[in-house]
Amino acid sequence: MREPAAMRIRAPWPSGVLAALLFIGLLCYLAPLKPGVIALQFAWQPLTFGGIIHLWSEADLARYRSHLPLDCVLLLAYARFGWLLGTGTRVFTPLAPATQRLARLCLPAAALFDAAENAFHAWLTAAPRFDAPAAYLMSAGCSALKWVLLLGFGALVLIALARAED
């Protein structure tokens, strides 16, 4: 009986390590893009988005588009890590029950917004789509919500760890 419990406690770490390695790898892979990917993620308007894309060479755009499938693996890894950390460990026990539930859902929800962002970016980078301003707004909105949830999760981990030391 002890072994399954011990395995359950370790369960988040393989997906967390995978997510970290993928994040670092993608960060390095996309580093040559100027302006960077973050600027594209927060391009709320078609002209801003298009302006970034037009500063990239065809090879740069191909590089960006080629990273999207691997980014989907990344979002699955960090979603799994967050869920397992919240459900399979005691990291968040110093937090109120409602905050524990929020922490458990932060990374899976961020992954959903990340997947939507990827779908928008795949479509928006395939051809000029200046006649679809709502798509750019929704894409940037998904990016913003993803980042709020990712940073929120990090903050909740830090708060929980600080309270555990008390």
* Alpha carbon distance 139, 117 (integer Å): 5
- pLDDT of the residue at 165: 80
pLDDT at 11: 82
Residue 155: other Cβ atoms inside 10 A:
12
Give residue 120's identity as a one-letter amino acid code: F
Compute the distance between CA of residue 143 and CA of residue 137 in angstroms, rounded to an integer.
10
Residue 75: how many CB atoms within 10 A of its CB?
22
pLDDT of 8 reads 47
Mean pLDDT by runs of 10 across the 166 residues of the chain is: 51 94 98 97 97 97 98 98 95 97 98 98 95 97 98 98 87
